[in-house]
Amino acid sequence: MGTETPEKHRISRSREENRGIIASLVANARREIKVFAPVLDPFYFNTPAMEQTLTGFVLAHSQNRVQVLIEDIRALLLDQARLVGLHRRLSGRIEIRRVDDDAVGQREFFVVADGRGYFHQIDYEGRESSAEFDAAGEAALLRRHFEELWERSARISDLHTTGL
């Protein structure tokens, strides 16, 4: 299911490069994918290719999971029809939650795959990012941060209905 592993460390300054890096990271995941973003950019996640990759990932093994933490529920419902649809069809394997009020206002955006690879933007509205595909130390820090936020997060009831 995966693709060739890209070069070890990347610094990116464009949306197109970022999308390619995120796609490679997700395509090479084997167990878990964790995504944190105040607002998910549809350029990265609301594409047919990403929908297919995520579907293949969660169906490849019964233990595979995708967890997504967001702040802006309205933007999610308006701009992420493919991801929301996957959540509805595969809700036990693709979970989406809203961050706790104490975490509202964070600017970073990151994706962690299998606790080894990561993509990280300090500011989700910016373009500059860093990524490594085999960096357990750095990925573990982001994963731990994600887990702390996940523990305090809330399920989103609107995701199981068609309206806002």
Q: Does residue 69 form part of some domain?
A: yes
Q: Does residue 1 form part of some domain?
A: no
pLDDT at 50: 96
- Give me the helices (H) in 3-106, please: 15-27, 42-45, 48-60, 73-79, 81-89
Q: Does residue 113 form part of some domain?
A: yes
Could you give the dihedral angle defined by the CA atoms of residues 124, 30, 27 and 116, in that order, rounded to the nearest 10 degrees? 40
β-pair type (94-98, 65-70): parallel
Q: What is the CATH number of the domain that holds 23?
A: 3.30.870.10
Q: How many domains does the chain have?
A: 1
pLDDT digits (tens, 9 = 90+) for 15-62: 899 999 999 999 999 999 999 999 999 999 999 999 999 999 999 999
pLDDT digits (tens, 9 = 90+) for 89-138: 998 899 999 999 888 888 899 999 999 999 999 888 887 899 999 999 99
Q: Does residue 125 form part of some domain?
A: yes
Q: Does residue 2 form part of some domain?
A: no
The domain of 103 spans 9-159
